[in-house]
Each structure stands twice: as C-alpha cells, then as structure tokens.
C-alpha cells in the first residue's frame, strides 16, 4: 500500500488519499500547541492501517515542531494511551 500524508493548511487537516478516498485528521492551533479535533476514515479505507499512520504522523509532527498536543479526537487520545512515548507531549495524559 503506497500513500503520502499531506498537510492541507487551508483546511486545517492532515490527509491521506488512497484509491480515490481521503482520510484525514482535523486540527486547530492554539498558543504553543495543536489540538487534534477529529479523525475521518472512509469505510473503504478501514482496516488498512490508515488511521494509525495518520495518528503517528500528526503526533510526530507536533513533537518535531515543539507543539503541545490537546488530543480531543478519541482516536488520537487512544493512540497516545497505547504509545506512551507520546504522553510527554500531551496535555491530557499522566506522565510516566
């Protein structure tokens, strides 16, 4: 499976397009951080690892850009729970 994640700044989202369908994570910026609001994965792309690839990408993006994360999106929040290496950057998680 070959895909590229793009940052669509005008629509405030990170996107993966595959097989004519687009999955994305919407965000809002705040002073010193980024709030991940909602993840959308079309049914045709479910089960292909797209949502996990997006979650990892957006969390790495925040870390690489020294942005604190507010994971309002339940999927991003759950991804952080399963990957403690992202907890230190999250404003909603207990630091281990």
pTM, two decimals, is 0.92
Question: Given this model, what pLDDT does residue 3 score?
Answer: 86
Question: Given this model, what pLDDT does residue 93 score?
Answer: 83
Per-residue pLDDT of the chain (96 residues; tens, 9 = 90+): 678 999 999 999 999 999 899 999 999 999 999 999 999 999 999 999 999 999 999 999 999 999 999 999 999 999 999 999 999 999 998 655
What are the structural domain ranges in the chain? 5-86
> At CA 38, angle to CA 56 and CA 52, rounded to 5?
25
Treating both helix axes as pointing N-terminal to C-terminal, what angle do 74-82 and 50-64 enclose, rounded to 10 degrees? 80
Buried-exposed string 4-43: b where 16+ CB fall within 10 A, e elsewhere: ebeeeeeeebbbbebeeebbbbbbeeeeebbbbbebbbee
Question: Given this model, what pLDDT does residue 95 score?
Answer: 56
In CATH terms, the fold of domain 5-86 is Aminopeptidase (3.40.630)
């Amino acid at each position: 499976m070959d895909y590229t994640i793009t940052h669509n700044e005008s629509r405030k989202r990170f996107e993966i397009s595959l097989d004519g369908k687009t999955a994305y994570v919407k965000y809002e910026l705040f002073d010193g951080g980024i709030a991940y609001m909602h993840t959308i994965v079309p049914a045709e792309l479910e089960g292909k690892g797209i949502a996990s690839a997006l979650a990892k990408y957006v969390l790495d993006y925040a870390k690489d850009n020294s942005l604190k994360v507010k994971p309002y999106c339940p999927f991003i929040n759950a991804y952080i729970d399963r990957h403690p290496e992202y907890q230190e950057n999250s404003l909603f998680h207990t630091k281990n």
